[in-house]
Structure 1
Amino acid sequence: MAPAVWSRLSRILWLACLLPLAPARVAAGLYELNLTTNGPTTTGAEVTISASLVAKDNGSLALPTDAHLYRFHWIHTPLVLTGKMESDLSSTIRVVGHVPGDFPVSVWVTAADCWMCQPVARNFIVLPITEFLVGNLVVAQNTSLPWPSSYLTKTVLKVSFLLHDPSNFFKTASFLYSWDFGDGTQMVTEDAVVYYNYSIIGTFTVKLKVVAEWEQAEPDATTGIVQKTGDFSASLKLQETLRGIQVLGPTIIQTFQKMTVTLNFLGSPPLTLCWRLKPECLPLEEGECHPVSVASTAYNLTHTFRDPGDYCFSIRAENVISKTHQYHRIQVWPSSIQPAVFAFPCATLITVMLAFIMYMTLRNATQQKDMVENPEPPSGVRCCCQMCCGPFLLETPSEYLEIVRENNGLLPPLYKSVKTYTV
């Protein structure tokens, strides 16, 4: 008898729960819950979690017109509930965690008159609670770069610490900030905002240690000092503007000779390089050459010229900050003609030939003059004296004239004989 009564009673209870909830059973699977929270948070601070019943995005389903048909059910243990509020098709709770950890919070929606019936929608969220301060570092600069976490050197950076305290838990706390900028510079401030200027390029990590202290009433009616700390960091990549390109290489070269030009970039890599040979030094247009990736501040450019002429290397380089152009003129001579090498042998040969001609001319003139004016003396001693000393060492003028007549028989006498008559 008793089992039959309990069986009938259970059916009646089941029907009583089922009949009021017929629309909700039909709606099961057509709605969903959206959960939002202002966590994570620190131990002892209040955190808010909100749940909203929305229709699934099928383009035609509308929300129920009567919000009182549904009820929200929360499970938040071991978090302590400090407040709850419901309005229309949403519900909000406030909880506090006294120990650190990741805590799941679940919620589901049922008919208002039957919480044991099938849920219309359900969802859950994991709430992280830590014993340290919660916040993050924000780095800002006037110049915006296309790469994330990239900034300019020699330009002021604004580094700020933003404390995450939605419940105003640290309203009476005093803070101390210890900064380390990663380049050897450290400082301690009471302000959450600092300004810093990096002078060199590279990747640096800004580290910050925050200490918060405040007074708190103890259970024994005394006042104690409570302290919480937090460590934060941010990675920064400091770039430098591309100020120019230094070109080191020859300006005159021979055809079919391999040429190497060194490009030194006055800026921070990585870079994109583009170059092309032109008859004139003109800027490169988009698509005129194929870009080359350069990971350092120097690059060797090699080329072999096949045709002589005047050329100009048009060079364009750019990094994530800026871009610049540079030009390098070069003269290409045919391989069979080298101006400097060819001119020297030619000049030398011409000089040697002229010297030889002048030597031969002077030599012939000297020989003819010696044959006319300085005939060969009769003896070896007198020949030497005659050739070396000239007519000044002869014994008498008559002897000199006799020698001239003997050697130059065709010449007329230099004087006529004079006859003397005695009267």
Structure 2
Amino acid sequence: MAPVVWSHVGRILWLACLLPLAPARVAAGMYELNLTTDGPASTGAEVTISASLVAKDNGSLALPTDAHLYRFHWIHTPLVLTGKMESDLSSTIRVVGNVPGEFPVSVWVTAADCWMCHPVARNFVVLPITEFLVGNIVVAQNTSLPWPSSYLTKTVLKVSFLLHDPSNFFKTASFLYSWDFGDGTQMVTEDSVVYYNYSIIGTFTVKLKVVAEWEQAKPDATNGIVQKTGDFSASLKLQETLRGIQVLGPTIIQTFQKMTVTLNFLGSPPLTMCWRLKPECLPLEEGECHPVSVASTAYNLTHTFRDPGDYCFSIRAENVISKTHQYHRIQVWPSSIQPAVFAFPCATLITVMLAFIMYMTLRNATQQKDMVENPEPPSGVRCCCQMCCGPFLLETPSEYLEIVRENNGLLPPLYKSVKTYTV
């Protein structure tokens, strides 16, 4: 009888032990923990970590009405616990890190009466602790651009440093800010907000060094100066609005001639450009031409006209800031002589001109040679030569007769032969 009684008692005790486990086993996998933290933080600063038990989003599970059914368990070593607070289905702890590093903090939830049971939900977070200041640079401008970190030149920028100090650890500290704007300008201020105006386009890196100092009590009951520093940077892309397009090219051209037009964009690249020939100068509509990406401020257009007439280049360009249109009129005249027609006459004319030039060159050279080889003697010598040596040097009888006629006088002789007549 006794063994049977003890057997029933054992079963009752076993069922009694299972009762606390039943809710947890049923709830396992139906809830999750959401963790939030205000870290990272500097060494010595207090960090807050919160955990909330929520139901998974299946549309049918509701949280229990009694919040005391569950217990939160934390592991935060080597971080020092400075405070803990629990409320309905949530728990919050405050910890301090005295050495730099990345420290995991884990938490899990079990049934309130059975902390050794299977967890209902668990999660963890890695908390960064650094020996430097924590913060970031914020840049603001009145004009908003669609690209991140893009701003307009010649417009005032507001550059601010935001210190991350949720626990007011640096409330008694004094700060010094050293700014470097990346274009050769540097300044030192005691204010965390400065205003600056970039005059040129480009990508610049703003560098900031922050120094914080405050008094802190030492173990020997004396006050000492404690200092923390931090280096921060932010990249800025300064751009200009697209003020216009300068078109350089001819305004009159003939058919079948290749024409080149240069476009100079007065704005910041990269740009998107498209163009089209129209009978009139009208703006281009969306989808009317194929866009082309331009990585510089200049672009060359080439086109060959086959039909005469009046045309207009309609050009549209835009960058991330603005867009603009430009037009360029051009008159195309028909070619009076086609290349195949005037090619042969031109070749003939060039050949004749070259032959004439060669003929005149050879003729001049021959005349100069004759003058050098046969110089004309003086008149006295020529006369003597004609009278004495003429008959021997003459080459033709006609030439001889010519000389004889020149030597005879024009008057009749002084005496005249008398003819005798017999009667």
Q: TM-score, normalised by structure 2?
A: 0.78
Alpha carbons 2:110, 2:119 under 8 Å: kept: yes
CA RMSD of aligned residues (A): 9.3
Which SS does the other structure have where 2:384 is aligned? helix
Would you say the 8 A contact 1:377–1:383 is kept in 2? Answer: no
In 2, Cα distance between equivalents of 1:56 and 1:414: 164
CA distance in 2, matches of 1:174, 1:3: 80
Q: Rate the CA distance shift 1:70–1:257 in 2: closer, same or farther, 3 A.
A: same
Q: Separation in 1 of the partners of 2:59 and 2:51?
A: 22
Residues 78-93 of structure 1: pairs in structure 2 closer than 5 A: 78-93=78-93
Unpaired runs of at least 5, structure 2: none
**Greater Cα offset, 9-18 or 278-287:** 9-18
- Counterparts of 1:347-358 in structure 2, within 5 Å, are none
Cα contact 2:386–2:403 (8 A) shared by 1: no
Query: Does the 8 Å contact 2:177/2:189 carry over to 1?
Result: yes
Alpha carbons of 1:402 and 1:377: their partners in 2 closer, same or farther (altered >3 Å)?
farther
**Secondary structure class of the residue paired with 2:328:** strand
1:338, CA displacement in angstroms? 11
Distance 1:237 1:296 in 2: 16
Q: Give the conservation status (yes or no) of the 8 Å contact 1:205–1:236.
A: yes
Summarize the Cα distance change of 1:220–1:373 in structure 2 as closer, same or farther, 3 Å threshold: closer
Write the distance in 2 (CA, Å) between the matches of 1:135 and 1:279. Answer: 60
Contact 1:18 1:117 in 2 (8 A): no
Residue-by-residue CA offset, 1:94-114 (whole Å, 9 max, x unaligned): 000000000000000011111
C-alpha spacing 1:376/1:241, structure 2 compared with 1 (3 Å): closer
Deviation, 1:411, is: 36
* Runs of 4+ off more than 2 Å: 1-18, 336-423
Structure 1 residues 372 and 422: CA distance shift in structure 2, 3 A:
farther
Q: Secondary structure of 1:355's match?
A: helix
| Cα separation, partners in 2 of 1:350 and 1:177, compared to 1, 3 Å | closer
Measured in 2, the distance between the counterparts of 1:192 and 1:61 equals 49
The separation in 1 between residues aligned to 2:61 and 2:74, in whole angstroms, is 26
Return the offset for 1:20: 2.1
State the Cα distance separating 1:2 from its structure 2 match: 20
**Is the alpha carbon distance of 1:359 and 1:320 closer, same or farther for their aligned partners in structure 2, counting shifts above 3 Å?**
same
Percent identity of equivalent pairs = 96
Task: Specify the SS of the correspondent of 2:269.
Answer: coil
Structure-2 residue corresponding to 1:162: 162
Change (3 A) 1:412 1:34: farther
Q: Is the 8 A contact 1:17 1:117 kept in 2?
A: no
CA distance in 1, matches of 2:405, 2:359: 33
Residue deviations 1:291-330, cap 9 Å, x none? 0000000000000101000100001110000111111010
Q: CA deviation at 1:19?
A: 1.8
Deviations for 1:352-381, whole angstroms, at most 9, x for unmatched residues? 999999999999999999999999999999
Q: Are the structure 2 counterparts of residues 209 and 354 from structure 1 closer, same or farther at C-alpha, using a change threshold of 3 Å?
A: closer
State the 1:204 CA deviation.
Answer: 0.3
Offset of residue 271 of structure 1: 0.4
Deviates more, 1:140-149 or 1:335-344: 335-344
1:15 Cα deviation (Å)?
5.9
The Cα offsets for residues 89-141 of structure 1, whole Å up to 9 and x where unpaired, read as: 00000000000000000000011111111111111010011000000000010
- Cα-to-partner distance string for 1:33-69 (whole Å, 9 max, x where unaligned): 0000000100000000000000000010000111001
- Structure 2 Cα separation of the partners of residues 144 and 305 of structure 1: 44
Q: Per-residue deviation at 1:18?
A: 3.1
Task: Give the SS at the match of 1:400.
Answer: helix
Say whether the 8 Å CA contact 1:375–1:407 is kept in structure 2.
no
Contact 1:405 1:411 in 2 (8 A): no
The alpha-carbon distance between structure 1 residues 358 and 227, as it changes in their structure 2 partners (threshold 3 A), is closer
Count of residue pairs brought into register by the alignment: 423
**281-290 or 342-351: which moved more?**
342-351
1:23 shift after superposition: 1.4
Q: 1:374 to 1:384 in 2, by over 3 A?
A: farther
Q: 1:11 to 1:136 in 2, by over 3 A?
A: farther
User: Displacement, 1:333?
Assistant: 0.9
Deviation at 1:222, TM superposition (A): 0.4
CA distance, structure 2, for counterparts of residue 310 and residue 369 of structure 1: 63
Aligned residue number for residue 230 of structure 1: 230
Please tell me whether the aligned partners of residues 254 and 338 of structure 1 are also in contact (alpha carbons under 8 angstroms): no
User: Cα–Cα, structure 1 residues 394 and 162, in superposed 2: closer, same or farther, change >3 Å?
Assistant: same
Structure 1 residue 6, shift from structure 2 partner: 16
Task: Please tell me whether the aligned partners of residues 390 and 400 of structure 2 are also in contact (alpha carbons under 8 angstroms).
Answer: no
What SS class does the counterpart of residue 158 from structure 1 fall into? strand
Contact 2:24/2:117 (<8 A) preserved: no
Task: Give the C-alpha shift of residue 419 in structure 1.
Answer: 47
| Pair 7,315 (structure 1): closer, same or farther in 2 beyond 3 Å | farther
1:369 match: 369
Aligned mates of 2:298, 2:244 — CA distance in 1:
12
Which residue is 1:265 aligned to? Answer: 265
Deviation at 1:285, TM superposition (A): 1.1
Per-residue deviation, 1:396: 47
Instruction: Say if 1:182 and 1:206, in contact at 8 Å, map to a contact too.
Output: yes
- Offset at residue 21 of structure 1 (A): 3.1
Larger deviation, residues 180-189 vs 372-381: 372-381
Instruction: State the Cα distance separating 1:282 from its structure 2 match.
Output: 0.9
Shift in Å, 1:24: 1.9
Sort the Cα spacing of 1:410 and 1:6 in 2 relative to 1 into closer, same or farther, 3 A.
Answer: farther
Cα distance in 1, alignment partners of residues 53 and 244 from structure 2: 61
Q: Take 2:82 and 2:147, find their aligned partners in 1: how far apart are those partners?
A: 44
Go from structure 1 to structure 2 and tell me whether the alpha carbon gap of 1:98 and 1:15 turns closer, same or farther (over 3 Å shift): farther
Label 1:261 to 1:49 Cα distance change in 2 as closer, same or farther (>3 A): same
Please, what TM-score do these two structures have when normalized by structure 1?
0.78
5+ residue gaps, structure 1, are none
User: Could you say if the C-alpha distance between residues 242 and 398 of structure 1 is closer, same or farther in structure 2, counting changes exceeding 3 Å?
Assistant: closer
